[in-house]
Amino acid sequence: MTAEASAREVAGSEHVGDRPLRVGVVGAGLAAGWFVELLRRAGDAECVAVLRAPGGDLDEAATRLGVRALDDPDAFYGLGLEAVVVTSPSGLHADHAGMALERGCHVLVEKPLTITGAAGERLVALAAARDLRLGVVFQRRADPVFRHVASAIRDGALGTVVAVGLTLPYHRGDAYYASAAWRGTWALDGGGVLMNQGIHLLDVLVWWFGDPDDVRAFAATQARAVEVEDTAAVALRFGSGPAAGALGTVLATTASSPGHPHALDVLGTHGSLRLEGERVVRWDVEGVPAPPASQASDGGARDPRATDTANHGRVLADFLAALREGRDPLVDGREGLRSLRLVEAIYAGAGLVR
């Protein structure tokens, strides 16, 4: 589904109140474009402006994104914003989300929430102190296919989950890292294949199976001239939740040519399943119907510009509804910390010093 089609889904969300929410977007890159487009067609919100880094070409950003572009935070927040979507480089999330919360805005942050658990905890505390909503974009939590699997696991349909295997054979070439100075750096990317690309699927693991209580890992930079890891191998033991006692593996890289969709195997005593990309390709779960056919494409394994934004639209729609209804969003700050903590544990286990 295209960004335009996703936006129509947002626009179809139920209205609460009699005027659109005034929303700003922090950042002017690829992800900013997704959310500007989604907000443009939302019936219950409007994108007022984007805030980009000082020194950039404001006219270029405004033309490319089709919305007012500013580089002065005072001017940006002076527009009467009620909510902000943070799409800046990961290492700036803590500062940018913190500034928005300090200015009294609800905040939706593109993954990861921050690049350290400590910084994420501070944002969670700040949002609570200001009685503001803090959400994190982990779009597969809104996907009907992934939600169907989550329900089956939670209801015990697979029996005892004994093993989980996740593989991410992605490709990011030299041109990808050269496209922005922050890519592949500890300070602004926060990490490599796990923090940037893999954290989406690590979030699925903690959502479906609970938090691991033992993590063993190796990580290396094998193919790209970057600071961060491009390859990781991880062993997990889940200590709580619906898969308590299960063993898991993660094999992830951005150096695999030509790059293929991720795969996730779940093995239980009463059933098993396999996902490839956004689709269930094997469903051996007795008494439970297979999930609906996925409407999301598998783009993004080779090129992030091919990312399907259908589920981003669902996350945004839920966030806007949460603001209207005075409830927590689908993935609040506390929940968004779980996969970040897992990445930190993997990095510690692999001996990576950030």
| pLDDT tens sequence across 21-75 | 999 999 999 999 999 999 998 989 999 999 999 998 999 999 999 999 999 999 9
The answer, yes or no, to whether the previous bond of 144 is cis (omega within 30 of 0) is: no
Q: Residues 244-276: pLDDT tens digits?
A: 999 999 999 999 999 999 999 999 999 999 999
Give percent of the chain above pLDDT 70: 95
Q: Residues 61-82: pLDDT tens digits?
A: 999 999 999 999 999 999 999 9
User: Average of pLDDT values for 86-92?
Assistant: 97
Which CATH number among 3.40.640.10, 3.40.47.10, 3.30.360.10, 3.30.450.30 corresponds to the domain 141-300+333-349? 3.30.360.10
The reported pTM is 0.92
- Residue 316's pLDDT is 98
Q: Give the angle subtended at the CA of 28 by the CAs of 25 and 29, to the nearest 5°.
A: 120
Q: Which residues of 289-299 are buried (b: 16+ CB within 10 A; e: fewer)?
A: eebeebbbbbb
Give the pLDDT band of residue 307 (cuts 50, 70, 90): confident
Domain(s) of CATH 3.40.50.720: residues in the chain: 3-140
- Residue 17's pLDDT is 57
For residue 26 the two structure tokens come to 């922090």
62 exposure class (CB count in 10 Å sphere: 0-12, 13-18, 19+) = middle
Give the pLDDT band of residue 1 (cuts 50, 70, 90): very low
Q: Are 329 and 322 in contact (CB under 8 A)?
A: yes
Q: Are 314 and 116 in contact (CB under 8 A)?
A: no
For residue 21 the two structure tokens come to 């929410």
- Residue 131's pLDDT is 98
Q: Are 79 and 22 in contact (CB under 8 A)?
A: yes
Angle at which helix 3-11 crosses helix 310-325, to 10 degrees, equals: 20
- Residue 7's pLDDT is 37
CATH number belonging to domain 3-140: 3.40.50.720
Q: Give the angle subtended at the CA of 16 by the CAs of 105 and 296, to the nearest 5°.
A: 80
Domain(s) of CATH 3.30.360.10: residues in the chain: 141-300+333-349
For residue 237 the two structure tokens come to 């033991």
pLDDT at 146 over 60: yes
